[in-house]
Chains A and B, each alone.
Chain A
């Protein structure tokens, strides 16, 4: 069985969360928040790895639960790392 697709609100929360804490680049005003599936999956996997979860790249229950865990406001990855990753 394939894993169930995340609900739209979870996906929206996930993207917002990943951007806020440095896993996705900040929203581009020209393109909105469009992300490729690959980019999103990669970001989720990095976040899972950083948070001690299995890096599946899938926005599952455990990942959403971790995103709802109280935490520090500062990003986990610095903005610089984005430029580096893009290169």
Chain B
């Protein structure tokens, strides 16, 4: 009695947690991690790629809502209905997934009354990619909550569910159907990226830059967070623009696959076409899927029709869905979807009035504005504008990296103290 299957025509699907649980013991990072792993359960076996994004255009919008939340499935407080998701289709809510914010969402909890968020998310994402309910007791797609399903890093879909998703999307290349039938030991997925905190057991190194005095090599918005790169290190700010740690993280320990001898990067940006992350250094570039480098990189930047000599900055401008590359006083406009440079470039910069003609890097932020960085200063350009907002430049260290007012010599003194 299953309906005609609906499925996504595209294979790259973006997702975003739009609202988080209000009174839950689970923090936003844990919620995002659980969503990542619940989606990965499906993309591990089917040719689907899920990418977390910051913008409101995500294919799968995830919300924690209460009671009537303006769809046809109002929630009913603790117990009863706990979540739902919309099947793929042309409607604007296709793929959207809603969790009842009044449930006691848990993760790795012994609380028998809690609702295991990972287990429910795997089920709901099954709907979001086109699977309906089944009566098979072992299936994750049977409609009743049956408790936790175990470790998100090791969870493997029951056979019935694997077959049903293969019927919709085929088998992922890396998955051998025979191997699946032979039920081998599940492969352990990579661990979630460790937050760049100060729990490292390695002693402090002499080449560690200080965030308050750094001229950053590159700045990028990746998955809605800001990354400030300097030398072999980077600082990370979460979506609320709060530094994850005052201490920088080591680039090579997080971005797996960058050559160890690489002492800095020139520019970084998240590609809008497939949400992969591109690093530039000199005449070469690397493409990362999440924080792992793709096979076959580095490649020459001539792939972008860029001349030898590298780039200073790379910036994806949502206003026209184009990527801009900057080098000295020149800039190029590139279409990431067609992978072609737009004709008529390079042009003499800058495109935005009031922004310096040479840049360290640029990024868009979740407030819709674009930010341009050079030296220890930054310029803000409001969404859709072609001119820097009045009152800029401002101090990058003060406004982004939790430093004091940059009094003369203070940054240097603080750096020396550090």
Q: How far is the CA of A81 from the CA of B127 in the complex (A)?
A: 18
Q: Are B1 and A49 in contact (CB under 8 A)?
A: no
Contact, CB under 8 Å: A70 / B73? no
The majority secondary structure among interface residues of chain B is loop
| Contacting residues, chain A, for B103 (C-beta < 8 A) | 70
Q: How many A-B residue pairs have CB under 8 A?
A: 64
Q: Take A51-B144, A80-B3, A81-B1 as given contacts and tell me if A73 and B135 are in contact as well, using a CB distance cutoff of 8 Å.
A: no
- Please report the C-alpha to C-alpha distance between residue A75 and residue B87 in the assembled complex, in whole angstroms: 12
Residue numbers in B under 8 Å from A75 (CB-CB): 133
Using a Cβ–Cβ cut-off of 8 Å, how many residues does chain B contribute to the interface with A?
Answer: 25
Q: What separation, in Å, do the CA atoms of A78 and B143 have in the docked complex? A: 13
- Count of chain A residues near B, Cβ 8 A: 20
* B136 and chain A: residue at smallest CB distance: A52
Q: Hey, which chain A residues are within 8 Å of B75, CB to CB?
A: 73
Confirm or deny: B2 has a beta carbon within 8 angstroms of a beta carbon on chain A: yes
- Point out the residue from A49, A71, A84 that lies within 8 Å of B81, measured CB to CB: A71
Complex CA gap A39/B130 in Å reads: 30
Question: Is A60's beta carbon under 8 Å from chain B?
Answer: no
Give residues 16-32 of B contacting A (CB, 8 Å). Answer: none
CB contact between B83 and one of A73, A78, A80, A81 (< 8 Å): that residue? A73
**Is A54 an interface residue, CB under 8 A from the partner?**
no
Asked whether A70 lies within 8 Å of B144 as measured between CB atoms, the reply is yes
Chain A residues proximal to chain B, CB less than 8 Å: 21, 49-52, 66, 68-78, 80-81, 84
Which B residues form the contact surface with A (CB < 8 A)? 1-3, 73, 75, 79-85, 103, 115, 120, 123-124, 127, 132-133, 135, 137, 143-145
A-B contact pairs, 24 of them (CB 8 A): A21-B143, A49-B135, A50-B143, A51-B135, A52-B135, A68-B79, A69-B145, A71-B143, A72-B82, A72-B84, A72-B120, A72-B123, A72-B124, A72-B127, A73-B75, A73-B83, A73-B84, A74-B84, A74-B85, A74-B127, A76-B133, A76-B135, A78-B3, A81-B3
